[in-house]
């Protein structure tokens, strides 16, 4: 069992680590993902401590902002420092290693109920109204165009290609965000994704109407 003091200390550390990320990958993202995870876990089950630790720490190893190998070592060290059970620690690390959308291009075979819950919770925060805000926040952070009719959405052949693309932000909806509803792991995650997906469809319709297409 993780007591409140340990949880607080791990949270403070994570908050500090995420301080320089864009507004879509800040501490509020973690709070929203935790709320999503709570709702999914209430129906799907799984070990809550493992889910909670993975949620709190998941973006510290995000390759958009951190060196993955170094970050995983720091996370492991932090969890050991607080005497987190070895089995839980190992599971948390595996979840973090396998969570990202970009892992679809990697040879990963790890699955668990807890990974399913955390991944659905993270993906729910990538879609809907918050998803729109996060996409434009990240696009702005990278200095990307909103939209360019001359640049169509792409199909990427590798994680590196996906990461290094300079596509306009609207393309990201077609390259990732609109695909997520069919990639949810759990029934409850899928149900929660449906309305958020519909909102994005309506948002894009309005965007193109205003653009004049
Ligand atoms: P994961 O969190 O599964 O690793 P990504 O790194 O692809 O997934 O994306 C996380 C979030 O970062 C997205 O949901 C989106 O808000 C933002 N993001 C990532 N890549 C882009 C992009 N090319 N354009 C706009 N937003 C992006
Ligand atoms: Ni995340």
Q: How far is the CA of 151 from the centre of ligand 2 (A)?
A: 27
- Extract the tokens encoding 213: 């297409």
Half-sphere exposure of 48 (CA within 13 A, CB side): 13
Residue-level pLDDT at 163: 86
Q: For a substitution probing ligand 1, which of 99, 116, 172 has the most ligand atoms within 8 Å of its CB? A: 172
Å from CA of 103 to ligand 1 middle = 12
CATH number of 4-211: 1.10.3210.50
pLDDT at residue 193, rounded to an integer: 98
Token couple for 95: 């979840």
Task: Name the nearest CA neighbour of 44 among 210, 188, 193, 162.
Answer: 188
Q: What is the value of pTM for the model shown?
A: 0.96
pLDDT confidence of residue 211: 97
Give per-residue pLDDT as tens, 128-150.
Answer: 999 999 999 999 999 999 999 99
Please tell me the predicted confidence (pLDDT) of residue 209. 97
The dihedral of CA 26, 30, 35, 36: what is its sign? positive
Question: Which of 164, 170, 176, 184 for a ligand 1 pocket mutation test, highest count of atoms within 8 Å of Cβ?
Answer: 176
By alpha-carbon position, which residue is closest to atom 17 of ligand 1?
Answer: 135
The structural domains of the chain, with segments of one domain joined by +, span 4-211
pLDDT digits (tens, 9 = 90+) for 95-104: 999 999 988 8
Residues near 98 by beta carbon (within 8 Å), at least 6 away in sequence: 108, 110, 115
Position 49 scores a pLDDT of 97
How many Cβ atoms are within 10 Å of 42's Cβ, its own excluded? 10
Residue 57 in this model has a pLDDT that exceeds 70: yes
What is the mean pLDDT of the segment spanning 177-201?
A: 98
The CA dihedral of 159, 160, 166, 168, to the nearest 10 degrees, is 0
Report the share of the chain in percent with pLDDT over 90: 85
- The residue count of the chain comes to 213
Place of tokens 């493992």: 50
Q: What is the rounded distance in angstroms from the CA atom of residue 1 to the CA atom of residue 3?
A: 6
Ligand 1 environment, Cβ below 6 A: 24, 62, 64, 100-102, 122, 126, 134-135, 138-139, 169, 172, 176
Q: Is the pLDDT of residue 1 over 70?
A: no
Which one, of 6, 123, 101, 119, lies nearest residue 54 by Cα?
Answer: 119
Q: Is 107 exposed, middle or buried (0-12, 13-18, 19+ CB in 10 A)?
A: exposed
Of the candidates 60, 87, 86, 91, the residue with the CA atom closest to the CA atom of residue 73: 60
Encode pLDDT of 77-96 as tens digits.
Answer: 999 999 999 999 999 999 99
Residue among 134, 143, 146, 171 whose CB has most ligand 1 atoms within 8 A, to mutate: 134
pLDDT interval class at 50 (50, 70, 90): very high
pLDDT grade for 109, boundaries at 50, 70 and 90: confident
Nearest alpha-carbon partner for 85 in 118, 47, 122: 47
The number of the ligand 1 atom at minimal distance from the alpha carbon of 138 is: 26
Nearest CA owner, ligand 1 atom 23: 172
pLDDT score recorded for residue 27: 96
Structure tokens at 119: 């991944």
Distance from Cα 173 to the centre of ligand 1, integer Å: 10
207 C-alpha to ligand 1 centroid (Å): 20
């Amino acid at each position: 069992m993780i007591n409140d003091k340990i949880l607080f200390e791990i949270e403070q550390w994570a908050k500090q680590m995420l301080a320089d990320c864009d507004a879509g990958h800040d501490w509020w993202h973690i709070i929203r993902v935790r709320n999503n995870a709570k709702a999914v876990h209430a129906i799907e089950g799984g070990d809550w401590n493992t889910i909670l630790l993975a949620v709190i720490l998941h973006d510290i190893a995000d390759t958009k902002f951190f060196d993955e190998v170094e970050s995983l070592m720091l996370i492991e060290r932090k969890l050991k420092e607080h005497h987190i059970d070895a089995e839980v620690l190992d599971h948390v690390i595996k979840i973090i290693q396998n969570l990202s959308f970009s892992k679809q291009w990697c040879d990963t075979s790890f699955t668990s109920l807890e990974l399913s819950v955390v991944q659905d919770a993270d993906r729910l925060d990538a879609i809907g109204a918050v998803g729109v805000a996060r996409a434009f926040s990240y696009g702005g952070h990278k200095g990307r165009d909103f939209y360019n009719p001359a640049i169509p959405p792409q199909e990427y052949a590798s994680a590196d290609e996906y990461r290094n693309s300079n596509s306009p932000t609207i393309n990201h909806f077609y390259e990732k965000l609109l695909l997520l509803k069919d990639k949810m792991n759990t029934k409850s995650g899928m149900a929660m994704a449906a309305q958020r997906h519909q909102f994005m469809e309506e948002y894009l319709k309005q965007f193109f109407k205003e653009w004049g297409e």
